[in-house]
Amino acid sequence: MANKELDMEIRSLESERRMGEVELKSHQSRMADMLNGSMGEEIMNVLSGKQKVKLPFRKRLKYKIDGILKLFTRNDEHGI
C-alpha cells in the first residue's frame, strides 16, 4: 500500500517538474522573441551610443542627492 502511494507521489513530482521545464522554455522563447524584436534594437542602440537613455528630472535629482549624501555618510563612518 505504501509503495502505491510513494509511486503516485513520485509521478506527481515528475509531472510538476516537467511542467516547470515547459513553462521555463516558453518564457525563454518569449524573452528571446522580445530581444530579437524592437526591444533588442533599442538596447543595441543604447549600447552602441546611438541613443541616450533619458531619466525624468526628479529621478536625476534624487540620484544626485543620494550620491552627495553617500559621500558625507561614508566619510562619517570612517572617521574622516
CA angle 16, 35, 26 (to 5 degrees): 15
Say if residue 75's pLDDT is above 80.
no
% of the chain beyond a pLDDT of 70: 91
pLDDT tens by residue, 1-33 = 678 889 999 999 999 999 999 999 999 999 888
pTM (predicted TM-score) = 0.47
SS (H, E, C) 12-25: HHHHHHHHHHHHHH
The label of the residue with cell 510513494 reads 6
pLDDT average, residue stretch 46-74? 89
The per-residue pLDDT for 78 is 57
